[in-house]
Copies of this chain bind each other. A is one copy, B any other.
């Protein structure tokens, strides 16, 4: 007997399709539910549907048609849905009071409430680590380069800062350079923070010699790892390179490292390390 396909609700980025392929490689079929206006992964040969936020009734119908029992959420959401985008089909309207309650508060709050919504409909929400564990960062160096002692000091500083900031449901990343936290991620996301670090460096707003400093990216304390693992890919390496950083530090087993071949080729070529660190935030 074959396991029923897993549904992947796909936001932006390459991740949803990578998960679908990794799941298939591990013997499990997947169906992509692309969120209109967010998903940009080309589905290729993976079965898929594209639905707007107002098609939640249709979404549950399709889940039933495919015999889906498990749902995995992946990819970025650039915009939170506004009311006007939600007032959609009948199945949406029926769920509207609960959905509106979800659209308030910090990210973690929203995500937990969304999970509960699906669980109460009888579905199991599964993490990426469960259906595509090969995508998680491992421990130690991933590419050719290793952090020096000064890089390890910056990594430790960044990890301590993120541990202190974690209870506040802020971002999951900082840039630490030569003993100083020069950029902290909040609602803008990691890519925008790295671009800021590059701009600050160009304008001489912090001291750095040669390739120096690290991006430290970790899961938040108490974060539900089924839905909101930090993701690093080729664009992250390119932006870290542009910011003059010496490398990236990722939580081993707690960060998704996607587009790995291309990202490591780039890091190796530019002299950047990609280090998996043991930095489990207390649950």
A residues contacting B by CB (< 8 A) are 78-80, 82, 103-107, 157, 160-161, 164-165, 167-171, 174-175, 178-188, 192, 196, 200, 203-207
- A250 nearest CB across to chain B (Å): 20
Chain B residues contacting A192 (CB-CB under 8 Å) are: 196
Q: What residues on B are CB-neighbors of A200 within 8 Å?
A: 187-188
Contact of A181 among B78, B105, B170, B180 (CB under 8 A): B170
Closest to A158 in B: B168
State the CA gap A80–B204 with chains docked (Å). Answer: 7
Q: Which residue of B lies closest to A77 (CB)?
A: B205
A179, B105: Cβ atoms under 8 Å?
Answer: yes
Q: Is the CB of B187 within 8 A of A186?
A: no
Partner of A104, one of B178, B182, B183: B178
CB-CB under 8 A for A106 and B179, given A79-B204, A165-B161, A204-B79: yes
Q: Which residues of B contact A206 (CB under 8 A)?
A: 80, 187
**Cβ–Cβ < 8 Å partners of A171 in chain B:** 184
A186 touching B179, Cβ below 8 Å: no
Contacts of A107 in B (CB 8 A): 180
Known: A79-B203, A82-B204, A204-B82. A180 touches B184 (CB 8 A): no
Q: A204-B80, A204-B82, A207-B104 are in contact. Are A180 and B169 (CB under 8 A)?
A: yes
